[in-house]
Amino acid sequence: MINFNSFIVNNPGLGQQLSCRDSLISIFNCPLKNKYEDIWSHNNYVLYVAEGRKVWHTAHGSFNLHKGSCVFVRKGACIVEQFFETQFCFFLFFVSDDFIFEVLRSKSTPLRKSEIKFNPVITIDSDAIVYSFFQSMLPFFNARFAPDKTLLELKFRELILTLADNPANKELLCYFCALLHEPQQVSLQLVMDDNYCFNLKQADYAKLCSRSLSAFKRDFQQLYNSSPGKWIMEKRLQHALHLLSNAEKTVAEASFESGFDSSSHFSRAFRHRFGIPPSTVKKGNAALS
């Protein structure tokens, strides 16, 4: 899978790019080339669509982004579906959990708490203030010289505070509250539940959980009483079984959408786990265990 954050950093020619920290990177107009792209990011990102359309497919549903859409995409993996009828032009701001935590802790007014569930892609209320913020970034992208990094960091702080001040962003505020108050163990569980069906390496999961690989394996074992490899394989196979039985997916589709690197690997693992090849599973036949 493509690490979206690292891909942007390593390919500055893809769009007009500004940065002031490793986790604070903004870009204007960065096209991806293929119809479907598997991407993941160890940082969150805020995305505002100026033109065009793409669909972000996640473990919890699909999110159709078009002109005027503004979303907060939580760190993790997804499949981006491209539409080439019009150019896709957007503002993109990578922001780490640590930076968001730092900004929220400095906020002079308490964060408005919300108890609703948050998705991997969170819609942002695109009001006049948000629109004005993105318009205010255009001169920086079009300038003949790079702005001071301190000024850029202030713009990132402005973005987070603007989003946190709007009570209409209930889902996002719930995530922000989780960053401030959620135990690390809960954070690890959230990352795994949202991303097990993507073809990520254990080192990638560790990075998403803000841990070293050894600390990730230790904490995972304590939480699930299982190794990451065994747990991920079982979750992916159960997800594939569901897709074959209830969603009328082909073997190739179920394999791809469950995070397997090839259909042959998937078929071997499926037969070993359930005793039958995936091609024999019919809609409604979910009695295997």
Domain ranges of the chain: 2-181, 183-289
Q: Which two tokens stand for residue 81?
A: 């579906």
- Selection from 179, 161, 152, 177 nearest residue 75 by Cα: 179
Q: Percent of the chain beyond pLDDT 90?
A: 63
Distance of alpha carbon 179 from alpha carbon 175, whole angstroms: 6
CATH code 3.20.20.150 for 2-181: no
Residue pLDDT, tens place only, 133-166: 999 999 998 888 889 999 999 999 999 999 999 9
What is the CB neighbour count within 10 angstroms for residue 52? Answer: 19
Give the list of residues 6+ apart from residue 92 with CB closer than 8 angstroms, or none: 8, 25, 26, 27, 28, 30, 45, 46, 47
Residue pLDDT, tens place only, 184-202: 767 899 999 999 999 999 9
Given a contact cutoff of 8 angstroms between Cβ atoms, the answer to whether 121 and 81 are in contact is no
* Amino acid in the structure at residue 40: W
Q: Which residues of the chain have pLDDT under 50?
A: none
pLDDT at 21: 83
pLDDT at 142: 85
Radius of gyration in angstroms for the set of CA atoms belonging to the chain, rounded to a whole number? 20
Long-range contacts of 224-230 (CB under 8 A, 24+ apart): 228/202, 229/202
Which CATH number is 183-289's, of 1.10.3720.10, 1.10.10.60, 3.30.70.20, 1.20.1440.230?
1.10.10.60
| Helix orientation angle between 97-105 and 149-165, rounded to the nearest 10 degrees | 70
